[in-house]
């Protein structure tokens, strides 16, 4: 505790403890406010509400800082692999070589998905949105792994985590292959985690899988950059669903649905669709800048702005460079990119965007890289989910280990007061 805040209302004085985090953020602890005063706090969208104490990810939106377990995102993106980051986020420390090898070996052993799951996938039309399919398949996994509906020991927790880290990429790959009309595939135990994901997604039935280092490095970086982002919409969903003691897979399935929305993970798909629409409309970026600023027009510049980053998104900086490298290395000359660059330049100099601190976010550039890597637009948010999986797992585990109470916000009721019932014939 770091002192007290005083709240005064109608002559009454309430003392509220102030909590200090390890990076010196201060929070007023209102746990006992209602029992003391009869009042609650109101904060739609939780813009100003801490829902938990967490030791996983630190971010400072004003300074543009993002760290996983104390490690700078810039260092992790440059020097580590996605699987190391998965381990780090979930268990709190970077793995030793032997810990990483054991983790990978355990994942490889659990990487088979029951063949009957294919029947469930078969029931979806090819046109189904991959996020809906992925959320359903993740939920369906529960039926095939009933022991992990809930976990009651450290061993079960480890097994449940390894299973989902192993099987989720298979579901992702199947979702894509179904959409493309390709036969479903399993991985190759001899490949690295990310390489295997790429192979499962793209290997042609008639040819050998050939690794492309540029693509694998870019994917690895993208997955690392998306791996956690503290209490965002989908993570809060995972924690709140898990707080009712719903199991890990059910909580993750809910998180996938939350991520789907265009204001959250769905923004990367929305960015590309927006760029394509601008191109189809003649490529006039100024027209769309004006639409974004017009309060009578619902159009927003997708990929710009962020709930917490009010300076710049540190992930966007790394990913912008990765996007430039990938496009140069793969020799891609894409007119959509010229539109993206034009919008970026205009927004960075525009008073409306500058005064509201609206900078390009991670999704602005990730969509561009995914497109360059040949990933279909509707799969972009699925790629985000693949990256975010370890963050969701780490947050779910922390919530359970901390024995957090069930999430159950209150409300301020503003509806009708008691009315007498009118029989239907008299209405």
37 vs 357 by CB, closer to ligand CMC: 357
Map residues 340-359 to x or -, x wherever contact with ligand CMC holds by CB under 6 A. ----------------x-x-
**Does residue 385 interact with ligand CMC by CB under 6 A?**
no
Q: Whole-number minimum distance, CB 253 to ligand CMC, in Å? A: 18
169 vs 303 by CB, closer to ligand CMC: 303
260 vs 396 by CB, closer to ligand CMC: 260
264 vs 317 by CB, closer to ligand CMC: 264
Q: Residue 426 CB: number of other CB atoms within 10 A?
A: 6
> How buried is 312 (Cβ within 10 angstroms: 0-12 exposed, 13-18 middle, 19+ buried)?
middle
**Does residue 196 interact with ligand CMC by CB under 6 A?**
no
Map residues 298-327 to x or -, x wherever contact with ligand CMC holds by CB under 6 A. --xxxxxxxx--------------------
Q: Residue 339 CB: number of other CB atoms within 10 A?
A: 20
Q: Whole-number minimum distance, CB 264 to ligand CMC, in Å? A: 4
17 vs 64 by CB, closer to ligand CMC: 64
User: For residue 161, what are the CA distances in angstroms to 157, 167, 418?
Assistant: 6, 10, 49
Provide the annotated active-site residues.
306, 363
Q: Whole-number minimum distance, CB 143 to ligand CMC, in Å? A: 30
The C-alpha atoms of residue 1 and residue 403 are separated, in whole angstroms, by 20
Q: Whole-number minimum distance, CB 327 to ligand CMC, in Å? A: 21
**Does residue 264 interact with ligand CMC by CB under 6 A?**
yes
Strand order of the β-sheet with 71-72 is 57-60, 65-68, 71-72
Contacts of 365 (CB under 8 A, 6+ apart): 303, 316, 319, 320, 322, 323
For 49, what's the count of Cα atoms within 13 Å in the CB-facing half-sphere? 14
Kind plus residue range of the DSSP H or E element containing 224: helix 213-225
303 vs 314 by CB, closer to ligand CMC: 303
Q: What is the DSSP letter of 261?
A: S
Structure tokens at 387: 């990256």
Which listed residue (55, 63, 263, 348) binds ligand CMC by CB under 6 A? 263
Stretch near ligand CMC under the rule CB under 6 A, chosen from 139-147, 185-193, 246-254, 360-368: 360-368
Q: Whole-number minimum distance, CB 365 to ligand CMC, in Å? A: 11
Contacts of 65 (CB under 8 A, 6+ apart): 58, 59, 72, 314
Backbone angles phi, psi at 130, to 5 degrees: -55, -30
Which listed residue (135, 232, 237, 269) binds ligand CMC by CB under 6 A? 232
Tell me the residue number closest to ligand CMC, measured at CB: 305
Chain positions 119 to 148 lying near ligand CMC, rule: CB under 6 A, are none
Which listed residue (136, 196, 361, 381) binds ligand CMC by CB under 6 A? 361
Chain positions 233 to 262 lying near ligand CMC, rule: CB under 6 A, are none
Question: Which candidate, 132, 185, 161, 143, places its Cα nearest to that of 242?
Answer: 161
For 58, what's the count of Cα atoms within 13 Å in the CB-facing half-sphere? 13
Residues that bind ligand CMC in the complex, under the rule CB under 6 A: 229, 232, 263-265, 267, 292, 300-307, 356, 358, 361-363
């Amino acid at each position: 505790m770091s002192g007290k805040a005083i709240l005064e209302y109608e002559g009454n004085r309430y003392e509220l403890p102030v909590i200090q985090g390890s990076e010196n953020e201060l929070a007023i602890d209102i746990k006992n406010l209602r029992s003391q005063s009869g009042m609650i706090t109101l904060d739609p969208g939780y813009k100003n509400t801490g829902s938990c104490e967490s030791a996983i990810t630190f971010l400072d939106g004003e300074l543009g800082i993002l760290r996983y377990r104390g490690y700078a995102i810039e260092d992790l993106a440059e020097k580590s692999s996605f699987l190391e980051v998965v381990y780090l986020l979930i268990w709190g420390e970077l793995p030793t070589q032997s810990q990483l090898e054991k983790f990978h070996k355990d994942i490889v052993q659990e990487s088979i998905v029951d063949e009957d799951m294919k029947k469930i996938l078969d029931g979806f039309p090819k046109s189904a949105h991959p996020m809906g399919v992925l959320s359903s398949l993740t939920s369906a996994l529960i039926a095939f792994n009933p022991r992990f509906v809930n976990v009651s020991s450290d061993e079960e927790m480890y097994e449940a985590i390894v299973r989902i880290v192993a099987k989720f990429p298979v579901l992702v790959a199947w979702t894509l292959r179904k959409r493309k009309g390709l036969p479903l595939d399993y991985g190759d135990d001899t490949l690295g985690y990310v390489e295997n994901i790429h192979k499962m997604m793209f290997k042609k039935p008639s040819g050998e899988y050939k690794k492309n280092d540029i693509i694998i490095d870019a994917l690895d970086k993208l997955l690392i950059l998306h791996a956690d982002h503290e209490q965002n919409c989908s993570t809060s969903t995972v924690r709140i669903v898990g707080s009712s003691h719903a199991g890990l897979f059910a909580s993750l399935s809910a998180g996938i649905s939350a991520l789907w929305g265009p204001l959250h993970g769905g923004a990367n798909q929305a960015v590309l669709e927006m760029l394509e629409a601008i191109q189809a409309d003649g490529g006039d970026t100024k027209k769309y800048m004006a639409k974004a600023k017009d309060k009578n027009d619902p159009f927003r510049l997708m990929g710009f702005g962020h709930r917490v980053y009010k300076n710049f998104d540190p992930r966007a900086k790394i990913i912008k460079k990765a996007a430039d490298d990938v496009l140069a290395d793969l020799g891609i000359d894409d007119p959509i990119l010229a539109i993206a660059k034009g919008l970026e330049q205009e927004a960075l100099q525009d008073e409306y965007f500058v005064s509201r601190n609206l900078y390009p976010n991670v999704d602005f550039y990730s969509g561009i890289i995914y497109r360059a890597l040949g990933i279909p637009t509707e799969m972009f948010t699925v790629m985000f989910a693949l990256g975010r999986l370890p963050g969701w797992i780490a947050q779910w585990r922390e919530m359970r280990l901390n024995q957090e109470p069930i999430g159950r916000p209150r409300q301020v009721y503003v509806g009708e007061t008691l009315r007498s019932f009118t029989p239907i014939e008299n209405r």
